[in-house]
């Protein structure tokens, strides 16, 4: 009898950004860290859970540093490598920067996973870095019980164009660059109910580099940028609200969603991270009448290599949408607004 091929997702307890520690748990963990000493050149640190750290090198350059890694969200090794690398580089783009170099983070069960499969994971990551125009200049590897892959990503930007998640303003329009539903499609794949078209939708969005970040950062009227990943749209938008001291209202019917994810969401298929993310949001998210249960799931769905979330002035919104569309992000859409009030998110039908 022919032995069934090994599935990467069977070697790990979670996958993609759904592996992230829940926001409330992470906040509790970090609360015990000693207060950081002030550094004049540290432009962005841990204060508002931003996407990357930023260090001013001189008056013209700031270094952006971040790291991201996780366990497989798909079974194809090459695709896993591509998704993980795209996701890691996104944090540089979300600060308005351009990647310059990456280091690989590799943890593999070498007694379970063929070396050829591990090689394909690394090739997938390297292919995305090549697309971004940067080298994988080194890294570190360990023998681990579950497969883990990701990158340390370094980037550069002018200090004056760095975009923080805390700088949204009252009246800003919220624009999301990629469709939601990655975690839901990943769960459907694990259950064996995702067809080829659904898989293609998931791979297309998770391997699309957020290269428009630097172009958005220099556009007049763009005030804040972040990317939507493991905490779902709700969790990452709450970070924007808390950083800015503002509220946000989002229209559930305006959300860009991958078509293949909608029927699965309606059937209740999705990662466990959805429940964790909703619980972490608590009373800071208010759902209006008419918002359906499946829409709540999409809003809290853990995105892997998700889209950029932009807060910009109303008169800049069309230019932002045009920048997204020129960059190949056809699903980009206005989803809501920032406003004065408590740091909470209201969802309307």
Write out pLDDT tens, residues 180-221: 999 999 999 999 999 999 999 999 999 999 999 999 999 999
Instruction: Please determine, for residue 126, whether its predicted confidence score (pLDDT) is greater than 80.
Output: yes
| pLDDT score at 7 | 76
Instruction: Let me know if 116 is exposed, middle or buried by CB neighbors in 10 A (0-12, 13-18, 19+).
Output: exposed
Task: Report how far residue 151's alpha carbon sits from residue 87's, in angstroms, rounded to the nearest whole number.
Answer: 9
Task: Answer for the pair 83, 206: CB distance below 8 angstroms, yes or no.
Answer: yes
Q: How many CB atoms lie within 10 A of CB 4?
A: 7
| pLDDT score at 34 | 66
Task: Report how far residue 348's alpha carbon sits from residue 270's, in angstroms, rounded to the nearest whole number.
Answer: 22
Could you give the dihedral angle defined by the CA atoms of residues 228, 230, 231 and 233, in that order, rounded to the nearest 10 degrees?
A: 30
**315-321: average pLDDT:** 98
> Domain locations in the chain?
8-157, 172-347
Q: Which helix (H) or strand (E) holds 187?
A: helix 182-190
State what percent of residues in the chain have pLDDT above 90.
84
Q: Name, in order, each residue with C-beta under 8 angstroms of 322's C-beta and a sequence gap of 6 or more.
A: none
Q: Name, in order, each residue with C-beta under 8 angstroms of 220's C-beta and a sequence gap of 6 or more.
A: 316
- The response to whether 139 counts as a known ligand-binding position is yes
Under the banding of pLDDT at 50, 70 and 90, the label for residue 2 is: very low
| pLDDT score at 224 | 96
- The response to whether 59 counts as a known ligand-binding position is no
pLDDT in tens, 3-44: 445 678 776 665 554 555 556 665 665 666 666 667 999 999
Instruction: Order across the sheet with 308-312: list the strands.
Output: 222-227, 308-312, 173-176, 333-339, 247-251, 345-348, 285-287
Of the given ranges (68-72, 201-205, 288-292), which has the lowest mean pLDDT? 68-72
Under the banding of pLDDT at 50, 70 and 90, the label for residue 45 is: confident
Instruction: Give me the architecture of the 8-157 domain, per CATH.
Output: 2-Layer Sandwich (3.30)
Under the banding of pLDDT at 50, 70 and 90, the label for residue 122 is: very high
**Residues identified as active-site:** 17
Tokens of 86: 């795209």
- The response to whether 20 counts as a known ligand-binding position is yes
Task: Report how far residue 102's alpha carbon sits from residue 269's, in angstroms, rounded to the nearest whole number.
Answer: 35
**320-327: average pLDDT:** 98
| pLDDT score at 1 | 36
Task: Report how far residue 263's alpha carbon sits from residue 259's, in angstroms, rounded to the nearest whole number.
Answer: 8
**160-184: average pLDDT:** 96
State what percent of residues in the chain have pLDDT above 70.
91
- The response to whether 190 counts as a known ligand-binding position is no
pLDDT in tens, 79-107: 999 999 999 999 999 999 999 999 999 99
Task: Report how far residue 316's alpha carbon sits from residue 172's, in angstroms, rounded to the nearest whole number.
Answer: 9
- The response to whether 195 counts as a known ligand-binding position is no
Place of tokens 């351009």: 98
- The response to whether 50 counts as a known ligand-binding position is yes
Instruction: Order across the sheet with 62-70: list the strands.
Output: 42-44, 53-56, 62-70, 148-157, 98-108, 136-143
The CA distances from residue 133 to 101, 166, 334, in Å, are 9, 29, 30
Task: Report how far residue 74's alpha carbon sits from residue 149's, in angstroms, rounded to the nearest whole number.
Answer: 12
Task: Report how far residue 14's alpha carbon sits from residue 69's, in angstroms, rounded to the nearest whole number.
Answer: 12
Task: Answer for the pair 222, 320: CB distance below 8 angstroms, yes or no.
Answer: yes
Task: Report how far residue 266's alpha carbon sits from residue 252's, in angstroms, rounded to the nearest whole number.
Answer: 14
**280-306: average pLDDT:** 96
| pLDDT score at 27 | 62
Instruction: Please determine, for residue 124, whether its predicted confidence score (pLDDT) is greater than 80.
Output: yes
Q: Say if pTM beats, i.e. exceeds, 0.95.
A: no
Task: Answer for the pair 343, 247: CB distance below 8 angstroms, yes or no.
Answer: yes
Task: Answer for the pair 102, 44: CB distance below 8 angstroms, yes or no.
Answer: no
Task: Report how far residue 208's alpha carbon sits from residue 321's, in angstroms, rounded to the nearest whole number.
Answer: 17
CATH annotation of 172-347: 3.90.650.10
Question: What is the separation of C-alpha 151 from the centre of its chain, rounded to a whole number of angstroms?
Answer: 14
Tokens of 165: 């998640």
Task: Answer for the pair 324, 177: CB distance below 8 angstroms, yes or no.
Answer: yes
- The response to whether 141 counts as a known ligand-binding position is yes
């Amino acid at each position: 009898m022919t032995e069934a091929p090994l599935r990467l997702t069977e070697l790990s307890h979670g996958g993609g950004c759904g592996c992230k520690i829940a926001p409330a748990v992470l906040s509790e963990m970090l609360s015990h860290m000693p207060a950081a000493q002030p550094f004049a050149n540290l432009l962005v640190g841990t204060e508002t859970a931003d996407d990357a750290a930023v260090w001013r090198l001189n008056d013209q350059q700031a270094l952006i540093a971040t790291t991201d890694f996780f366990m497989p969200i798909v079974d194809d090794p090459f695709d896993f490598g591509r998704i993980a690398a795209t996701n890691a580089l996104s944090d540089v783009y979300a600060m308005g920067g351009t990647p310059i170099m990456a280091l690989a983070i590799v943890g593999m069960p070498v007694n379970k996973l063929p070396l050829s499969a591990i090689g394909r994971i690394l090739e997938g990551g390297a292919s995305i870095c090549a697309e971004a125009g940067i080298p994988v200049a080194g890294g570190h590897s360990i023998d681990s019980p579950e497969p883990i892959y990701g990158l340390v990503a370094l980037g550069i930007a002018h200090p004056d164009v760095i975009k923080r998640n805390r700088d949204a303003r009252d009246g800003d329009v919220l624009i999301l660059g990629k469709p939601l539903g990655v975690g839901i499609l990943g769960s459907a794949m694990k259950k064996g109910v995702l067809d080829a078209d659904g898989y293609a939708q998931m791979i297309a969005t998770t391997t699309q580099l957020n290269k428009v970040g630097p172009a958005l950062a220099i556009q007049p009227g763009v005030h804040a940028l972040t990317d939507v990943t493991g905490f779902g749209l709700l969790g990452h938008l709450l970070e924007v609200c808390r950083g800015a001291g503002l509220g946000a209202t989002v229209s559930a019917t305006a959300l860009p969603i991958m078509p293949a994810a909608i029927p699965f969401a309606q059937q209740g298929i999705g990662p466990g991270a959805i429940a964790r993310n909703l619980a972490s949001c608590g009373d800071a998210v208010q759902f209006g009448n008419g918002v359906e249960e499946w829409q709540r799931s999409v809003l809290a769905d853990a995105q892997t290599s998700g889209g950029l979330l932009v807060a910009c002035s109303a008169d800049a919104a069309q230019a932002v949408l045009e920048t997204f569309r020129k960059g190949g992000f056809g699903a980009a859409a206005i989803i809501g607004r920032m406003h004065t009030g408590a740091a909470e998110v209201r969802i309307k039908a």
